Amino acid sequence: MRKLLVAAAALTLGMAAMSANAAPNVTAPLIERTKFFGNPNRTQGRISPDGKWLAWIAPRDGVLNIWVAPIADPAKTKPLTDEKKRPIRSYYWAPDSGSILFVNDKGGDENFLLYGVNVVSGAQKTLTPFEKTRVQVLNISRLVPERVLVGLNNRDPRWHDVHSLDLKTGKLILVFQNDGFGRFMIDEQLKVRGGAKSRPDGGTDFYAIEDGKVSDKPMDSIDFEDDGATGPMGYTTDGSILYWGESRGRDTSALVAQDVKTGARTVVGESPKVDVLGAMFNPKTGKVDAYAVNYLTTEWKPVDPAVKGDLEFLKANLKGEIAVTSRTDADDLWTVAVDPVTAPSALYLYDRKAKSLKKLYVTRPELEGATLAAMHPVEIKSRDGLVQPSYLTLPPGSDANGDGRPDKPLPLILLVHGGPWGRDAYGYNGLHQWLANRGYAVLSPNFRASTGFGKSYVNAGNLEWGAKMHDDLLDAVDWAVKNGVTAKDQVAIMGGSYGGYATLAGLAFTPDAFACGVDIVGPSNLNTLLSTVPAYWEAGRKQMYRRMGDPGTPEGAALLKARSPLTKADQIKKPLLIGQGANDPRVNQAESDQIVKALQAKNIPVTYALFPDEGHGFARPENNIAFYAVTEHFLERCLGGRAEPFGTALAKTSMTVPHGAEFAPGLEAALKAKVQ
């Protein structure tokens, strides 16, 4: 594992008269919701370090579990786990290939525990059996096959103590008691060599750690302006080189190699337009083989000539966005994912010596042959000159000449990403495809504060929640209107986490800008949001305050109040649908409760869907299918698109509707049918 600097999680958020728009002319057949939001057939396929096994995540009795098969005999596939409720969404190969590690929580509370399961016997054990504890897998090294390093916050919920975990016995040994470090630098011998502490000004100091002892003075420092784009990425196998993402003295983050002995730094990869997105590290040496940059689309750039031919071969033979997802210790076999955008992604086994590709699976075979929509990268200029890299998807049949502009204006969904310190990217997007199939144009702008486009772009969003960040979204809508994509009165806003906040802000601060909104786990009150973030976000608290506003100061609290949609909830007059997980540790249920209560008091119609077994977003496909069934009927009434009948969409969901079922077309009847 090469990401050695493990951070405390950053905040990743995400009725007036109805419009009488006519339904858009969509030529493609309506595709069932289950094909977009049901379980994938298979996903996250990875080869074992010894090259003998292939693992993946797939449904078992309707719940995502881990499966394996011998590479030599793929027919002998078998499930390794038997989760009954909560889907498994990530896993790791143990370095000796004898077991698989995975994490899971309860009902979306994000108190992740670590589990191990033997590949041959299927025996499973809980490796971190602690309540109200969130495990971090800090490093897995192929040089140390018998153990891994994990972080546990069961002593102090704010900080993760470093433990050595014996994979065979499950024994945990304390390596470093953590009293203030948010991240650690760990080499491939599983030695803790450094750690990062946040400063009161929002910057970060790095301290050397040797045999558990911390240096008196920092060995390196990062100012707040660089904090989001600068940090260690990993050591080479011999520990002689430390790779950094580095934005100090530049705008975009470069990939830099630092000689550990001399401190000398060499630029390995860079782009004047974007940060280095990621890198391929050699499984034997730990050196960088290639790196990726992504402005509008992803481009892999080889560093080691030994992989140049491999990347060229893959690019020539696989059409779409390509990613190498795993490599054997011998580096003879790779798993390679390809995303064709207008078709479901697939996984291939690549034999480097034979220069051959074997298709292992398609993630969603039920979508093969379906008429899916192209995604068009576009650049949108904001009113103050910033350029937003953005993505536009149009309904099939609406763009006869394929120029990325519809033949006539369409109803538009402005789909806002979460974070806000994240980004949208080019590729197959289930939400884009589903909405386009229903007859909507879909626009996802990377507004200021989005990551990957240089530190100045991120920092341009500081203290601009609901202000310049919102202006960017309005400018994206104006662009769409001026370019004939949509009409001004045919735009809905939708998003999760920060995107949910943007939805609430859009309806509250600019009540005539959108025809309706769909908020998924979005905060409504920024002061209460910051007062209830998880304890283990302590390391990033000062950075959040500098980017959003400091609730501990009168000026900051006033700013946060002014930027909270709850403050102007009485100005909301357009239809609103809210989805919330009851166990959300990031955006508590109270964030949705508050604004629903405020709207109730003013007799402003709002539909509130609550999920008692979910957290920050919806993991169970039954819940996604139910919420998006409600959403498409809500949007049909608002903008006139198509909607699949409810049918059995609510049959297995936990969704309750505490308020406003009558404001969502067909929802009351569907809920009654579920009860019967």
CB 640 within 8 A of CB 631: no
Kindly state the tokens that stand for 370. 């379906």
Kindly state the tokens that stand for 237. 């196998």
- Percent of the chain scoring above 70 in pLDDT: 96
213-234 mean pLDDT: 96
Residue 674 burial (CB < 10 Å; 0-12/13-18/19+)?
middle
308, part of any domain? yes
311, part of any domain? yes
pLDDT for res 9 = 32
Kindly state the tokens that stand for 296. 């509008």
Structural domains of the chain, count: 3
18, pLDDT greater than 70: no
User: Where residue 167 falls among pLDDT bands split at 50, 70, 90?
Assistant: very high
Q: Say how far apart CA 420 and CA 529 lie, in whole Å.
A: 14
Q: Say how far apart CA 500 and CA 505 lie, in whole Å.
A: 9
- List pLDDT tens digits, range 473-499: 999 999 999 999 999 999 999 999 999
Reference 494, options 449, 431, 562, 568; nearest CA is 431
Q: State CA 177 to chain mean position distance.
A: 30
- List pLDDT tens digits, range 502-559: 999 999 999 999 999 999 999 999 999 999 999 999 999 999 999 999 999 999 999 9
296, part of any domain? no
Are residue 586 and residue 659 in the same domain, yes or no?
Answer: yes
CB 626 within 8 A of CB 618: no
CB 267 within 8 A of CB 244: no
- DSSP-assigned letters across all residues of 559-606: HHHHT-GGGGGGG--S-EEEEEETT-SSS-HHHHHHHHHHHHHTT---
Which residue, of 291, 323, 344, is where some domain finishes?
Answer: 291
Q: Say how far apart CA 454 and CA 571 lie, in whole Å.
A: 36
pLDDT for res 20 = 37
Are residue 232 and residue 258 in the same domain, yes or no?
Answer: yes
CB 183 within 8 A of CB 6: yes
Are residue 359 and residue 394 in the same domain, yes or no?
Answer: no
Its domain, for residue 520, covers 375-675
Are residue 340 and residue 455 in the same domain, yes or no?
Answer: no
- DSSP-assigned letters across all residues of 355-422: TEEEEEEES-GGGTTS-PPPEEEEEEE-TTS-EEEEEEE--TTS-TT-SSS-SS---EEEEE-SSBSS
CB 642 within 8 A of CB 395: no
Are residue 267 and residue 330 in the same domain, yes or no?
Answer: no
Q: Per residue in 31-44, is it b (16+ CB within 10 Å) or e — as a string?
A: bbbbbbbbbbbbbb
- List pLDDT tens digits, range 279-307: 999 999 999 999 999 999 999 999 999 99
User: What is the chain's mean pLDDT, rounded?
Assistant: 95
DSSP 28: S
Are residue 348 and residue 411 in the same domain, yes or no?
Answer: no
Are residue 317 and residue 388 in the same domain, yes or no?
Answer: no
CB 137 within 8 A of CB 91: no
512, part of any domain? yes
8, pLDDT greater than 60: no
pLDDT for res 26 = 73
**Residue whose token pair is 């005539």:** 512
Q: Say how far apart CA 483 and CA 489 lie, in whole Å.
A: 15
CATH number for the domain harbouring residue 550: 3.40.50.1820
651-664 mean pLDDT: 96
190, part of any domain? no
Are residue 534 and residue 636 in the same domain, yes or no?
Answer: yes
Element (H, E) at 301: strand 298-302
Kindly state the tokens that stand for 502. 């943007």
- DSSP-assigned letters across all residues of 599-647: HHHTT---EEEEETT-BSB--SHHHHHHHHHHHHHHHHHHH-------T
Q: Say how far apart CA 646 and CA 629 lie, in whole Å.
A: 6
In sequence order, the β-bridge partners of residue 258 are: 242, 265
pLDDT for res 674 = 85
Q: Say how far apart CA 292 and CA 562 lie, in whole Å.
A: 40
Are residue 632 and residue 571 in the same domain, yes or no?
Answer: yes
142, part of any domain? no
Are residue 348 and residue 474 in the same domain, yes or no?
Answer: no
Q: Say how far apart CA 106 and CA 12 lie, in whole Å.
A: 19
Across the chain, how many H-helices and E-strands are there?
A: 13, 37
Are residue 637 and residue 499 in the same domain, yes or no?
Answer: yes
25-36 mean pLDDT: 90
What's the whole-model pTM score? 0.95
- List pLDDT tens digits, range 79-116: 999 999 999 999 999 999 999 999 999 999 999 999 99
459, pLDDT greater than 50: yes
- Known catalytic residues? 497, 584, 616
7, pLDDT greater than 60: no
25, pLDDT greater than 90: no
442-469 mean pLDDT: 98
Task: For 387, list phi and psi in degrees, rounded to 5.
Answer: -110, 125
258, pLDDT greater than 80: yes
- List pLDDT tens digits, range 120-154: 999 999 999 999 999 999 999 999 999 999 999 99
23, pLDDT greater than 60: no
615, part of any domain? yes
160, part of any domain? no
Are residue 661 and residue 573 in the same domain, yes or no?
Answer: yes
